[in-house]
Amino acid sequence: MEIRTANGLERLRSLLDHASDLIQIAALDGQMIWANAAWCQALGYEPTEVCSLNFFHLLQIESRDRYQPFLQSLVANNSEGDIELTLKTQRNAAIALKGRVSCQMREDGSLELWSIWQPISCQVERNSGNVCDQPLAEISSREPLPCLCGDLYQAVVASLQEAIISLNQAGQICTCNQSAERILGLSAKQIHGLNFFELPWHTIHEDGSQILVEQHPIAVTLRTGQSVSNAVMGIYKPSGVLTWVSVNAQPLFNPGGNQLCGTVASFTDITTRKQLEATLQRNETCYRAIVEDLTELVCRFLPDGTLTFANSAYCQVLGIPLEELIGHSYKMFLLALDKETEISLTTITTPARPVNWLEHQVILPNGAVRWQQWCSRAIFDDQGECIEFQAVGRDVTDRRQAEAELREMSTALSNAVEGISRLDAEGRYVKVNRAYASITGYSPEEMIGMDWHRTVHPDDLEKLIAAYQQMISVGKTETEARGIRKDGTLFHKQVVMVAAYDQQRCFTGHHCFLKDISDRKRAEQKMLQALAKEKELNELRSCLVSMISHEFRTPLTTIQSATELLEYYEWSQAEKQERFHQIHEAVMHMTQLLEDVLLIGKAEVGKLEYSPKPLDLSLFCRKLVTDTQMIVGDRYQITFRDQGVVEPVEIDQKLLRHILTNLLSNAVKYSPTGSKIEVKLNYQRHCLNLQVRDKGIGIPAEARQHLFEAFYRANNVSTIQGTGLGLAIVKKCVEMHQGTIELESQVGEGTTFTVTIPRSAR
């Protein structure tokens, strides 16, 4: 039986299939329609054979004679009755059954016979051919259930998790089971006779629009006689609570089968599922948006290069739609400029060094030649086997061009007209050309007799004196240094000094060739800064992307397996609750991660909002501490104390919450159970001090300088979970208040974080 798509009826059948009574459904002419597993086992038939059997042919002659009139009276009265019969099994043994047969009306008005049997005894044929009686226990390994016979149908219906109600043609509720009482929030007595369509409910479609009475799935069945399955609707009860249900409705016909006389409807409460679906949808959209909005090219591929994912930037740059990329190797689309070398994003990586950087000139499918920089990260399974790669790429053509331009500029500079001067043996200018004088901001006349030291930046004087000495001893030197112009401004110069001698080879002074290299230095400086920033951002983005993909796997797997389990199997209410709890936890974890990532992203691009308002800080901290204490229960003892003159302070509540929750949750996370955590707030005249002290694992000295960088985690965290984002967020939030954060820590003893916020921030 297919449980996966089970509707109410199929679910009922599945229940029946597991009963130990022998249950069968047959047509009036004896044609078998269905039988449960116990029936098949007792009679020795395969479930697939059942439909080819006729019940009359299974009866022993004597039983058949009694069964015919019994049936006629049942049908005439459309009722049910008890009978004992003897049947032949497939192996030609006889089995005596006792049970109840009842007439049931089908959708099309025809009748079928539902029978529930309990074996009394059976006779088996021995080798000799003799037939002898054998007690039942010997042939049946199953314990028969306590009499399911009585009101089997009602008993089963009553115990279903689904709410079941039956309505007459006028819409009045005739019967309901216990689950219906629960979902409707009324007792069976109160429900009986109520008009279903006059219940004080407001019902809505999935898109939130109202369901009119005539559109209601049950009304449709009552009007048309057609069944409705799995219609989803929301019910606002008078209390304002919204419950989502999935509704099935089956029409009921009178015994003649020609007149619609009511409907049976089942409801399943799917509120929790709907809520989880909605949260999941939001998170999924958010995660996709992050990856899709990146200007970087993001892709994932198998070790052989086969692409499994690409974001829209990737598709756009290649000019190829996603469907055409997936399933093909990236090597088909990214061609190296020189044909010999292949672009390999999979250069040997190990779990310890999973990242590989590559900068390459590529030919894009449209023929354009670009420089691309790729950071690819290998993903390993538990056995350390590389299973996939994730790569983040960016176009660095502009930077490459700038570098090339810089090189050209240097060449051009070296050909430019240079300043030339002649100095005497004491280092005073004797001759100066125009170019030389103008570089230093003097007129040539002003420079004559001047000591060369005056044109050098004091910080570089020592360096130039050394060069001067070297020139005297070896005849020539070349160096770069900072110079000072007449107006005191700074410039960068390249200096070549060549010693001059008289005919007796006595030192008479030197020639100095001067070049202003300020432009080149500035360009170099800018380039270095740009490179550093680019590297920093690239690293952050790559880390973000792989952290998101990596950290989302575990909760997504949990959600997926829990939902599959929920979908494919029948569970008790408690087991279901446990699954939903697992899903809920995983969703919360993902939501927190997303919030952290978005917050860091915002802070990086300077978009964190800062709106200070007067706040009762003590109250705020006390409440947060109490809330945290409630969450951790008696595993930790968290205390709060304030000092100084307690008065409202201007502070951004949202940012402060990030600061305190992160510090507190770290204190808990990195401390052994049973330890104490102290939160102290000190109101000082010019500033506020907020301190969180724990007695946990502590932070090694070498880790402290990196602690506030995103993704950094100290090496003593062992298996304690974390992303390394919390303290980076705290730091940004503190900085928004122009504050500072300090820490004292002793490994194995504990850690104290102190946040100081000036009272007149901004």
Q: What does the binding site for ligand ADP look like in residue numbers (CB under 6 A)?
A: 662, 666-667, 670, 694, 696-699, 707, 713-714, 717, 722-728, 751
Min separation Cβ 625 and ligand ADP, Å: 15
Answer whether 21's CB lies under 8 Å from 148's CB: yes
Least spacing, CB of residue 601 vs ligand ADP, in Å: 15
Residue among 174 and 717 whose Cβ is closer to ligand ADP: 717
Helices 573-604, 518-568: inter-axial angle, 10-degree rounding: 170
CB of 204 closer than 8 Å to CB of 271: no
Cβ 751 to ligand ADP shortest distance, Å: 4
Q: Which residues contact 49 (CB under 8 A, 6 or more apart)?
A: none
Smallest gap from residue 491 Cβ to ligand ADP (A): 45
With vertex at residue 237, the alpha carbon angle to CA 234 and CA 238, rounded to the nearest 5 degrees, is 150
For residues 558 and 666, which CB has a smaller minimum distance to ligand ADP in the complex? 666
Nearer to ligand ADP, 482 or 658 (CB): 658
DSSP 636-662: SEEEEEEEE----EEE-HHHHHHHHHH
Q: Closest separation between CB of residue 669 and ligand ADP, Å?
A: 6
Q: Name which of 160 and 667 has its Cβ closer to ligand ADP.
A: 667
Number of H helices, E strands in the chain: 21, 30
Task: Single out the residue of 238, 229, 195, 189 nearest to residue 213, CA to CA.
Answer: 195
Cβ-based nearer residue to ligand ADP, 157 or 725: 725
Q: Are 173 and 193 in contact (CB under 8 A)?
A: yes
Cβ nearer to ligand ADP, comparing 43 with 734: 734
Distance CA 758, CA 688 (A): 6
Residue 59 DSSP one-character state: B
Minimum distance of ligand ADP from residue 291's CB (angstroms) = 21
What's the distance, CA 70 to chain centroid? Answer: 64
CB of 537 to ligand ADP, least distance (A): 19
Q: Tokens 């200018």, residue? A: 429
740 backbone dihedrals φ, ψ, rounded to 5°: -130, 160
Give min distance, CB of 379 to ligand ADP, in A.
20
- Residue 350 and residue 345: Cα distance in Å, rounded? 14
Cβ(465)–Cβ(479) under 8 Å? no
C-alpha distances in Å from residue 256, one per residue of 24, 46, 251, 409: 23, 34, 14, 100
Distance between CA atoms of residues 604 and 729, nearest Å = 10
| Measured distance CA(229)–CA(142) in Å, rounded | 35
Q: Which is nearer to ligand ADP, 305 or 724 (CB)?
A: 724
Q: Which is nearer to ligand ADP, 119 or 724 (CB)?
A: 724
Smallest gap from residue 635 Cβ to ligand ADP (A): 16
Q: How far is the CB of 679 from ligand ADP (least distance, A)?
A: 12
The distance from CA 245 to its chain's CA centroid, rounded to whole angstroms, is 27
Residue with Cβ nearer ligand ADP (559 or 727): 727
Could you tell me the CA-to-CA distances from 626 to 105, 176, 202, 463, 730 in Å, in that order? 62, 46, 39, 63, 20
For residue 282, the tally of other CB atoms under 10 A from its CB is 13
Q: Which two tokens stand for residue 140?
A: 């049946």
CB of 732 to ligand ADP, least distance (A): 11
Among residues 365 and 672, whose Cβ is nearest to ligand ADP? 672
CB neighbourhood size of 739 (10 A): 20
Distance separating the N- and C-terminal Cα atoms of the chain: 70
**Which residue, 236 or 711, is less far from ligand ADP as judged by CB?**
711
CA distance 480 to 493: 6
Q: Which one, 19 or 663, has the nearer CB to ligand ADP?
A: 663
Structure tokens at 181: 């009482």
Distance CA 45, CA 39 (A): 8
Return the number of the residue (219 or 600) whose C-beta is nearest ligand ADP: 600
Query: Letter for the amino acid at 691?
Result: Q
Measured from the CB atom, is 179 or 723 closer to ligand ADP?
723
To the nearest whole angstrom, how small is the minimum distance from the Cβ of residue 544 to ligand ADP?
A: 14
- What's the closest the beta carbon of residue 543 comes to ligand ADP, in angstroms? 13
Residue with tokens 């049936």: 71
- Which CB atom, from 55 or from 670, has the smaller least distance to ligand ADP? 670
Of 467 and 600, which has the nearer Cβ to ligand ADP? 600
Copy the structure tokens of residue 655: 């940012």
Query: Cβ closer to ligand ADP: 399 or 680?
Result: 680
Which residue, 184 or 714, has its beta carbon nearer to ligand ADP?
A: 714
Q: In the 8-state DSSP scheme, what is residue 215?
A: G
Give the Cβ contact number of residue 761 at 10 Å. 17
From CA 189, how far away is CA 181, in angstroms rounded? 9
Report, in Å, the least distance between residue 677 CB and ligand ADP.
Answer: 9
Least separation, in Å, of the C-beta of 673 and ligand ADP?
15
CB 571 within 8 A of CB 582: no
Q: Are the beta carbons of 249 and 264 closer than 8 angstroms?
A: yes
Q: How deeply is 43 buried, as exposed, middle or buried, from its count of CB atoms within 10 A (0-12, 13-18, 19+)?
A: buried
CB of 730 to ligand ADP, least distance (A): 7
CB of 584 to ligand ADP, least distance (A): 21
Asked whether the beta carbons of 183 and 176 are under 8 A apart, the reply is no
HSE on the CB side for 233, CA within 13 Å?
23
Cβ(444)–Cβ(437) under 8 Å?
yes
Least distance (Å) between residue 382 CB and ligand ADP: 22
667 vs 285, 545, 752, CA distance in Å? 33, 27, 9
